[in-house]
Structure 1
Amino acid sequence: MKKSLLFSLLAVPLVLSGCGTGGNEGGSTPSEDGQNGDGAGGETVTVNFFNQKPEITAQLEELAAMYSEQSESNANVTITTVGSGEGSAALQARFSSGDEPALMMLNGLPEIERYSDSLVDVSEMEVADTVIDGLLEGGTIDDTQLGIPLNIEGFGWMYNKDIFDQAGIDPESIESYDDFVAAVETLDSQKEELGIEEVFGFSGGENYIANQFSANFTSPEFNHSILDAYNAEELTWEYGDQMQKYTDLINEYNVQPILTVDYSRSVEELFVNDQVALVHQGVWIVPTLNDIDPDFAQEKLGILPTYGESDTEGRIPAGSPWYIGINGNMDEAVVEEAKNFIDWMYLSEEGQEMILNDLAFIPAQEGYDPEDISDPVSRQIYQAMLAGESAAFVHNQYPSGWFQQELYPQFQSYLNGEQSWEAFEENTSQAFSEMR
């Protein structure tokens, strides 16, 4: 039975359990092997955290400073950030050069497996006992838990509540694919009165959107399991008919040319300015919306599920795209301090305050009051995760390079009318098996 977070708010122990040396970044004078001292006698134990999300760098640096200031073990937590798609290569380069971080942010099971020989088992950490059921499997290799989920993200049909209300559509009444189609047709019939350009602002020009969209239909094939998706040798498109129906619907009622619509136009131009009613996006758009219209996420933003498994079974894909791994190649004192920092980050009162407010995360842990979560859509996703009613983030477990090299080009070709849906399924399925 999982411990409640109220219990876990008790102070995380900061006592180091052994002697050794730490990483050589930003700390005391290196020892002969290029690493810092173990904290004994006032020496600093440096823990470097390799971050692949530039947008949270300032918040992580603030957390690190707070922890270092109150640490009784003379800890120095530093943050190194490399993002914009270069983080994975930069992390590999750090390992190749021997300049390994103590903590690292890892994207999905393929990346976790790459470093599995270096990562420590996190199952006995205090924070692991509070993680929502099912999330830890996203950091598990060969039945060993090697990563702590950073947070929860979710995506689906983000809709504009005001536009739906003006059109006389009650989102609560949408309980099937047919209901969704009826809502789309109602919106389309009132475009002039509503002042919208089109119903959808689907970003056909972004390969990652096609990747995420596909998860609505591949998650049920893989039993809504990250591990099943990661271990799958083939993709048969068992629910491909559902994906085709949605794709055709989008293409009929979308801003055109659909393949020219990117994130900037979809979210920053059309959606936030009430020019489209629906986009296929996730909670990561909330900061963008807040920057443009601080009231939009709180008052206008809603999310609808996709009926990917059948016309009546709808789910919102949700999970953790990022996991924090702890490098067991470091000296024991550094490993223990890294564990302590992660426990403190997620279980201390100060850390939880940052997670809910400054970071605006959907927590990956049980025990939070949904009303304390930053916006209504994030609250809905958190509750769906707790209830076990979400689809899985299976798109992060596809064969390396498959969605960029095969899924997206084939999806583009279908949208352009250059090939049949049968050809799309056949070509992508074959490539899936070959690239696995």
Structure 2
Amino acid sequence: MKFRLFIISLIMLVSMSLMVACGSNDSANSDGSADNGDEVVVDVFNIKVETTEQLNNLIEIYESENENVKINVTTVGGGQDAPSALQAKFSSGEEPSIFLLGGLSDVEKYKDYLLDVSDMESAKTAIDGTLQGATIDGTPYGIPLNIEGYGWMINKAIFEQAGVDPASIDSYDKFVEAVETIDSQKEELGIDSVFAFSAKEDWVVSQYSSQFTAPEFDNDIKTAFEAEELNFEYGDRMKEYTDLFNQYNYQPILSLDYSTSVEELFANDRAAIIHQGNWIVPTLNSMDESFVSEKLGILPFFVTSDTEGKIVAGPSWYWGINKEQDEAVVEESKKFIDWMYTSEKGKELIVQDFKYVPAHEGYDTDAISDPVSAEVYEYLLNGNSKIWANNQYPDGFFSEALLPEFQKYLGEQQSWEEFEQAASEAFTEMR
């Protein structure tokens, strides 16, 4: 009997030892990352619909190198209200681990959730000045996604067929002349319209407005963010450009969305000019790789001077990390973002797969494959660029005030003066 009890006790002791051993293997490491057994789940909120496939590919590679990590992506954009969708995530208690910030307004809005990224490698390697758009009181709260620039994206082949050399457009008057020349040959060129400005999209209208508001804010991010008034100092030129594209645009302009503008009209040689940026390169490449290399070009806006053309260029979005998540999730989120921008594989994917202009040091910029992205980079380096002023607007301004008032003008429901007044009043009230 005693021998039997001894055997039972011995078995129980061995079992308990095995349980303790297994438990220790399933615990997290001291740095918060998972050891064998525990899976760390990182939820990413993405709004860059045009690079969804590239992001999923990057994540798949990262997961293959980190077997206990699962990264889930929610992508909202391309006609959907991404800011409202992100807000809904936080309101419902489904806060993402990593999410994109559009500028200082977003940083201020989510500041209580945001991690100070100062100690991250991807913050230390960020090009000088690129952290400014996510820095409050000297603390950076976001890692720059990339460098993006926008202006008039053009189909150079259509211009050349119409006898217009894009390189010769060095003034506002030359731009107007080119538009009128192309319009006069619409049938011969086989196009539906000169412009395909997608006025249905609030973000397109917002970015367009930045061409004219950036110089009013002295082309300074902090000045734009702290501004309590928007006086449309360059409103006359904004009206001239608006009247021009509305006259020669694909109609009905108020219902023209991103997909129709970029993927149906522009990519299929049915429109010569759109207001977009180099982020459309992956979309165009997925449809016809020769389009970007042979046809795509960019033209600047002539705002403060009839002969000095500039585009908007700089960091457009920032990755914010939710510090309120579990420690293991926060650490893995930092590790993932650092890997994306500082590892050799991550850097390769950023340039070659995403077709991004990098906002970080340590990249071979000669590897920027498409000519428009290279041109955007040159605009930035040569001082011929403006800030993303629209990212510093008061929270909700561009969707709740700017877009509807701008659409009223396009739809001939109010005068330009009434548009400026309504938008200016809303800007001050919402600030």
* Alignment TM class, shorter chain as reference: 0.7 to 0.9
CA distance in 1, matches of 2:195, 2:87: 40
Mapping of residues 265-276 of structure 1, within 5 Å: 265-276=260-271
Structure 2 spans left out of the alignment, 5+ residues: 1-24
Determine whether 1:76 maps to 2:65: no
User: Where has structure 1 moved over 6 Å in runs of 4 or more?
Assistant: 28-31
Mapping of residues 417-436 of structure 1, within 5 Å: 417-436=412-431
CA distance in 2, matches of 1:277, 1:39: 51
Give the SS at the match of 1:172. helix
Matched-pair contact (CA < 8 Å) for 1:45–1:333? no
2:221 is matched with 226
Match of 2:40 among 35, 40, 46: 46
Structure 1 residue 380, shift from structure 2 partner: 1.3
Matched-pair contact (CA < 8 Å) for 2:282–2:354? no
Match of 2:128 among 133, 146, 152: 133
* CA deviations over 1:206-252 (Å, ceiling 9, x no partner): 33322111110001111222222222111000111110111121122
Structure 1 residue 288, shift from structure 2 partner: 3.1
CA distance in 2, matches of 1:261, 1:402: 21
Matched-pair contact (CA < 8 Å) for 1:135–1:320? yes
- For the aligned residues, what is the CA RMSD? 3.0
Q: TM-score normalised to the size of structure 1?
A: 0.82
Structure 1 residue 62, shift from structure 2 partner: 4.2
CA spacing shift, 1:37–1:201, aligned 2, 3 Å: closer
Matched-pair contact (CA < 8 Å) for 1:37–1:43? no
Larger proportion of helix: 2
Match of 1:238 among 207, 213, 233: 233
Match of 2:281 among 286, 291, 298: 286
2:297 is matched with 302
CA distance in 2, matches of 1:190, 1:96: 53
Mapping of residues 162-173 of structure 1, within 5 Å: 162-173=157-168
CA distance in 2, matches of 1:55, 1:210: 18
CA spacing shift, 1:263–1:344, aligned 2, 3 Å: closer
Pick which of 168-177 and 296-305 moved more.
Answer: 168-177
CA spacing shift, 1:305–1:105, aligned 2, 3 Å: same
Match of 1:349 among 322, 344, 351: 344
1:321 is matched with 316
Pick which of 147-156 and 363-372 moved more.
Answer: 363-372
CA spacing shift, 1:390–1:296, aligned 2, 3 Å: same
CA distance in 1, matches of 2:59, 2:202: 34
Determine whether 1:408 maps to 2:391: no
1:368 is matched with 363
CA distance in 2, matches of 1:110, 1:101: 18
Structure 1 residue 341, shift from structure 2 partner: 2.7
1:392 is matched with 387
Give the aligned residue type for 1:80: V
CA distance in 2, matches of 1:259, 1:342: 38
Give the aligned residue type for 1:239: Y
Give the SS at the match of 2:289. coil
Pick which of 374-383 and 42-51 moved more.
Answer: 42-51
Structure 1 residue 100, shift from structure 2 partner: 5.0
Q: TM-score normalised to the size of structure 2?
A: 0.83
CA distance in 1, matches of 2:387, 2:335: 29
User: Percent same amino acid among aligned pairs?
Assistant: 54
Give the aligned residue type for 1:180: F
Matched-pair contact (CA < 8 Å) for 1:211–1:395? yes
1:377 is matched with 372
* CA deviations over 1:301-324 (Å, ceiling 9, x no partner): 101011122222221112333211
Match of 1:152 among 132, 147, 167: 147
Task: Name the count of aligned residue pairs.
Answer: 404
CA distance in 2, matches of 1:299, 1:320: 26
CA spacing shift, 1:60–1:207, aligned 2, 3 Å: closer
Matched-pair contact (CA < 8 Å) for 1:154–1:319? yes
CA distance in 1, matches of 2:56, 2:155: 35
Matched-pair contact (CA < 8 Å) for 1:317–1:391? yes
Give the SS at the match of 1:134. coil
CA spacing shift, 1:150–1:195, aligned 2, 3 Å: same
Matched-pair contact (CA < 8 Å) for 2:50–2:283? no
Structure 1 residue 428, shift from structure 2 partner: 0.9
CA distance in 2, matches of 1:63, 1:184: 41
Structure 1 spans left out of the alignment, 5+ residues: 1-27
Pick which of 247-256 and 215-224 moved more.
Answer: 247-256
